[in-house]
Structure 1
Amino acid sequence: MTFPPPRSSRSATAPPPISNIPPLDLPFQGRDDQIARLLELFEQYGHVLLHDGVALVQGFGKTQVAIAYCRAYTRRYDVAWWFSCRGETDDDRLCGLLEEQYQELREERARTFGAKVEHRPDNRWLFVYDDVSNPDRVYEHFVPGTGHRLVTSRSCGETWGSNRLELGGMTVEQSSRLLLDQAENLSSKQAKHLASLMNGHPAQLLAVAEEVRRTSYEECARMLTPAPQADPDTPPGGMLAIPRPRDDASGAPLSVAERRTLVAALARSPVGRDRDRWNVWLEAVRQMIKPTELAGVSDGGHFKDRIISVVNFALAQRNPKVMQALADALDLWGDEEGIADVRRLVDKAVDAWNGDQGR
């Protein structure tokens, strides 16, 4: 048995013989140029950094673009392996995390091609290091060999040269095409108008499309407002206000710092560590708030972006029902990390809501 297999042994759409690439959560109309640019960079460099153009709490879909690249050019690789770095800042913990995932790759290779097969990674191998905290140190953790390495990070780093690609918002034209594809009840003129109010964030555009389908263009346009630059949780440009979190001066149930703490606590909890648990949790939340829908909540992209979307939605409601459900749904996991902090902050928010009603 030889490794890797000949190219003719796979169809154009078949995944590599060894692959753990996640599924796409978002449609990627408008990102074809960036995906093609990644291929051009890999024709010049062995490793490429995909990073945000500006420092935001909510990124511009780096993870989804990386997945889309893997799936667009799957025939170019015999091995495509996804390393989830989870934004880990401690070098020792990151090393242990990557070693666990590399061991899974070694085991999968043994199952697929036999334990005796040895092959040093070359450019037919692709390794994705997703959500890297410090791209300038990730070199130390690369799998040995000459395989392609795609690194995603919020930071552009200081040691990377032209082997990096900045990912910003989609243009108005690209955003308009995505809206038209996702909301059949929009006209071209309406889609362009809504797109002009946004900052080109893919998840936000999908949320707009969902709201248009649920209500109408007129209602969505009325509720869509420019983002106040003073809010550090909001990207520059337009931001979906469906619904929109109240600012601190108007008596918000949680301050900006407390919102960040709540997001961090949810990220440490089971729902921030595993997609399956996230799905179980979100479904439990939906059951608790029926018939209310989580309209405008992003369920794709990086886990922290999903958490921010849910928290902002809950805090923007007229009552604490959704916020209460976020904590109640965590009871499934008992006393695991982060849950107590979530409950404490939710109780504080509920008390603030109740206090508002009493005035």
Structure 2
Amino acid sequence: METKSSAVRAYRWEPDGLWLLDQRRLPAEERWVACRRPEDVARAIREMVVRGAPLIGVAGAYGVALACRLHAGDPDAVERAAEQLRTARPTAINLAWAVDRVMARLRREGYAAELAAEEAGRLADEDQHSCWRIGEAGATLMPVEGGVLTHCNTGALATAGIGTAAGVIRRAVARGHRLRVYATETRPYLQGARLTAWELSREGIDVTVITDGMAGYVMQKGLVQAVVVGADRVARNGDVANKIGTYGLAVLARAHGIPFYVAAPYSSVDLSLPDGDAIPIEHRDPAEVTQVAGVEVAPPGVPALHPAFDVTPAHLVTAIITDRGVRYPPYLRSLPLEEATAP
């Protein structure tokens, strides 16, 4: 029987707190980190213990529940903790969206930890079903046989379900599509090499890791028939913010006549922003570029640029696969205001 969940699970809500699978240590070690205070959750989000736009939203929501436990009877302290959580990482809208949704309920019904945890659990359940719908909608767009290139990690380690772009791949394979997945290593954190390859190989899906610089080669050689990636935020005009390197893949796909798909829940659509220029781009510690697994790979004193995301213009996006169906250009018409998920 098919299930909407995955054998891979990146978080656990327990009586003693929120437990997060430390994704920095995969695939070598499966280590869990206990978060018992909202500050612990905010730190885990900032330091990439937990990552992926939908999943950091779920983590942030449970962080609010921890704030209610810690600051019982002090709504102002809960409000301050919630603001720290919602701003822990700026690009993915899901984090602020999820925290705001939990806080809206608390302001209506009272600042109780049980209410916050219940709403966080509801968000996680909704994301699980959302991933399934994205997978089902996108599977029909995948080649019946051929290569699919994906970037970063968009699976069960990034969501509460089977994933967004990875969910599309999973559902296509389950339907009998014979796919070979090319996973870019995704510098500088190597989420593709470490996480996507780990997830897909555990499920018996044919996956090959390539360096980010090999994407043009595999396209030129005819090994790729589709590209499918996730998104951290989608602007009203269809511009997409995703892991750094996504824009280059979209340009390469257009040059080779390959469809470029974005898979994202509607909670990642931000209709308050007119275009990608308005999306805040997180810049992280340059040491993440100059070091690999703690080993210096650049000469001392040489600076490094480290934007964590880039913006792919809407005209390069073939379609946006959402939990409410597939949206095609023009996105100003197909991503209407009344369809957006409000906090």
Taking structure 2 as the reference length, the TM-score comes to 0.27
> Which structure shows the higher strand fraction?
2
Taking structure 1 as the reference length, the TM-score comes to 0.26
> Which structure shows the higher helix fraction?
1
